[in-house]
């Protein structure tokens, strides 16, 4: 009853990405399936893992195949339908009420937010990636002393069309950012270093500028804070480029303490396997929101377990849904479906234990599915 209701709840996906436009063979599909650098590997490869089995179980029927279809059959049917149709089916199947799309990572052409929204039948908002914006400023040419003002100006110009911003400090300098707002002089010096590194072409190869300076990450966060924009932080689980130890959200404690004095929502993304730490931060800091995106679809039917752990300390008004889907449209569907199943299980177990009433559980489910995100991002006020 409760679980059925939850299985049809529209979700606000507060952190997701574009999907690819091209068709995919098995190697290319597996390469996008998880955070591994390469797909495949020994034996059944990534299909012999929770996410692989989840694709066979839950995605195959969306492509008119029986549940548990064999991987090669799945990929053949996928090729037969073509990328456009596959994208259409999975975005629609996800049952989304709104999307907040991080547009800052596009190593290849991906569907734009408007296209995603169109397929999903729901409004799509943009999340600006702070480091990408700063790198564009450098790429377009700027002096060290003018860097800060130019970044502020561009962010301000783009802010009205953005639902929030995202910091990928975790992937670069790590999350151990101090709580202090850097001085203008510090920012100019750091910008100077970035400009010199960029000129040098980063050791000869034609690499684009990359923000990886603790001072600049902090500066960008404070710029967003000054504009009142919700701030997303990558935390925890991601690909092998990051050093996972430097992605523990507890490393942000000092900065979160300062941001709590402003009235700016902070969203800690992913968090696995530090999701209990994230739940603690959501309890003690009034402006911190948390999710277990990315982990949800990677964990398949274990999603309930990490959701239950997140919801140990995190107040239910601070828990969000996100798919963190990237590349494969399947991840929109899996993220949404497995989240609903996991949340349904956690809340239904509470009803069975007598921890809360079914009425309260249904109310909490709606908060987590969409209400919390609407409130935190003020989606109701947006066009």
CA dist 51 to 19, 48, 57, 334, Å? 18, 8, 10, 9
Please identify which residue in 3, 5, 10, 57 interacts with a second copy, judged by CB under 8 A. 57
Chain positions 242 to 271 lying near a second copy, rule: CB under 8 A, are: 243-245, 248, 250-251, 253-254, 257, 260
Please identify which residue in 85, 199, 312, 378 interacts with a second copy, judged by CB under 8 A. 312
Strands (E) located in 103-258: 124-129, 162-167, 231-235
Please identify which residue in 82, 109, 201, 286 interacts with a second copy, judged by CB under 8 A. 286
Query: Least separation, in Å, of the C-beta of 32 and a second copy?
Result: 14
Query: Least separation, in Å, of the C-beta of 256 and a second copy?
Result: 9
Please identify which residue in 46, 98, 169, 223 interacts with a second copy, judged by CB under 8 A. 46
Question: What are the residues facing 162 on neighbouring strands?
Answer: 126
**Rounded Cα–Cα distance for residues 180 and 222 (Å):** 9
Instruction: Work out whether 44 is an interface residue with a second copy (CB under 8 A).
Output: yes
Please identify which residue in 123, 174, 230, 300 interacts with a second copy, judged by CB under 8 A. 300
Nearer to a second copy, 101 or 269 (CB): 269
Query: Least separation, in Å, of the C-beta of 214 and a second copy?
Result: 17
* SS3 at position 127: strand
Chain positions 339 to 358 lying near a second copy, rule: CB under 8 A, are: 350, 353-357
Counting residues that bind a second copy (by CB under 8 A) gives 74
**Exposure pattern of 131-165 as b/e (b: 16+ CB <10 Å)?**
bbbbbbbbeeebebeebbebbbebbeeebeebbbb
Q: Which stretch binds a second copy (CB under 8 A): 20-28, 182-190, 209-217, 370-378?
A: 370-378
Helices in 227-357 by DSSP H: which ranges?
253-259, 275-284, 295-299, 303-313, 330-353
Query: Least separation, in Å, of the C-beta of 155 and a second copy?
Result: 26
Question: What are the residues facing 126 on neighbouring strands?
Answer: 101, 162
Instruction: Work out whether 272 is an interface residue with a second copy (CB under 8 A).
Output: yes
Nearest to 288 by CA among 257, 248, 246: 257
Instruction: Work out whether 377 is an interface residue with a second copy (CB under 8 A).
Output: no
Instruction: Work out whether 23 is an interface residue with a second copy (CB under 8 A).
Output: no
Cα angle 276, 58, 127; round to 5 = 55
Instruction: Work out whether 318 is an interface residue with a second copy (CB under 8 A).
Output: yes
Q: What is the largest CA-CA distance in the chain?
A: 65
Instruction: Work out whether 178 is an interface residue with a second copy (CB under 8 A).
Output: no
């Amino acid at each position: 009853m409760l679980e059925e209701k939850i299985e049809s709840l529209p979700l606000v996906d507060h952190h997701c990405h574009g999907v690819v436009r091209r068709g995919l063979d098995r190697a290319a599909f597996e390469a996008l399936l998880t955070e591994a650098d390469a797909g495949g590997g020994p034996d059944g490869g990534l299909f012999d893992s929770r996410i692989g089995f989840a694709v066979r179980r839950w995605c195959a029927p969306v492509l008119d195949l029986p549940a548990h279809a064999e991987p090669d059959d799945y990929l053949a049917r996928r090729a037969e339908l073509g990328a456009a149709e596959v994208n259409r089916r999975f975005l629609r199947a996800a049952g989304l009420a709104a999307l907040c799309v991080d547009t800052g990572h596009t190593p290849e052409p991906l569907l734009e937010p408007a296209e995603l929204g169109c397929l999903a039948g729901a409004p799509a908002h943009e999340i600006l990636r702070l480091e990408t914006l700063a790198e564009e400023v450098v790429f377009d040419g700027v002096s060290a002393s003018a860097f800060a003002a130019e970044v502020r100006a561009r962010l301000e110009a783009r802010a009205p069309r953005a639902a929030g911003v995202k910091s990928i400090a975790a992937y670069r300098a790590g999350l151990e950012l101090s709580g202090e707002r850097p001085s203008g002089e510090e920012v100019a010096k750091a910008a100077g270093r970035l400009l010199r590194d960029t000129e040098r072409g980063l050791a000869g190869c034609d690499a684009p500028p990359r923000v990886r300076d603790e001072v600049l990450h902090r500066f960008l966060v404070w710029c967003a804070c000054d504009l009142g924009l919700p701030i997303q932080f990558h935390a925890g689980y991601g690909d092998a480029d990051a050093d996972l130890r430097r992605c523990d959200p507890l490393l942000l404690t000092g900065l979160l303490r300062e941001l709590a004095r402003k009235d700016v929502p902070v969203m800690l993304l992913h968090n696995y396997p530090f999701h209990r730490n994230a739940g603690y931060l959501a309890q003690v800091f009034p402006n911190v929101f948390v999710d277990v995106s990315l982990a949800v679809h990677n964990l398949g039917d274990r999603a309930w377990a990490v959701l239950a752990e997140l919801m140990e300390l995190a107040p239910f008004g601070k828990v969000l849904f996100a798919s963190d889907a990237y590349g494969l449209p399947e991840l929109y569907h899996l993220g949404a479906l497995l989240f609903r199943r996991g949340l349904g299980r956690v809340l239904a177990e509470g009803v069975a234990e007598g921890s809360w009433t079914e009425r309260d559980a249904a109310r909490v489910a709606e908060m987590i599915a969409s209400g919390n995100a609407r409130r935190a991002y003020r989606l109701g006020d947006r066009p």
